[in-house]
Amino acid sequence: MDIIAANAIGIDIFNSIADGNDGTLGADGANLPVTGYFVGGVTAPLVFDSFREANTPSALGDIVEFLKSTETAFVGWWTDSETGKVYVDDTTWHSSLESATGAAQERGEIAFWDILCETEIRTPSKEA
């Protein structure tokens, strides 16, 4: 992502986190799908240990630097409901639950996002 887009999107993400919101943005400004699933983990995520840590001036710089290396169509951010950690992820869209679950398992994701139901889905363990 170019520096101008990374700065603009980084500010949007930072402000959304500060407001206590999770979300996803199209890296190219495209409209977001209204159904399906978003799965992060295309690359290693940017992780903040707490909401407080994600709301510092250095966090904004970290987000922008992360975005400059992003090559996916979507970038998502969310707060883990169990740990309180804040994640910023390169994200892909999947049309089916089966595809999203498989991608999440393959990438070692904690959870993924159900767009229509607006809820996280914890990733089930792979069966041995």
What percent of the chain is modeled with pLDDT above 90? 79
Is the Cβ–Cβ distance between 95 and 29 less than 8 Å?
A: no
Please give the model's pTM, rounded to 2 decimal places. 0.87
Residue 96 has pLDDT above 90, yes or no: yes
Q: How many CB atoms lie within 10 A of CB 105?
A: 16
Q: Give residue 90's pLDDT band: very low, low, confident or very high (50, 70, 90).
A: very high
Q: Where are the domains of the chain?
A: 3-23+35-122
Q: Please give the Cα distance from 63 to 69 (Å, whole number).
A: 10
| 31 has pLDDT over 90 | no
User: Alpha-carbon distance 90 to 71, whole Å?
Assistant: 8
Other CB atoms within 10 Å distance of the CB of residue 60: 19
Question: Quick one: average pLDDT of 3-11?
Answer: 90
Task: Output the pLDDT for position 128.
Answer: 39
pLDDT average, residue stretch 110-128: 87
For residue 58, the SS3 value is helix
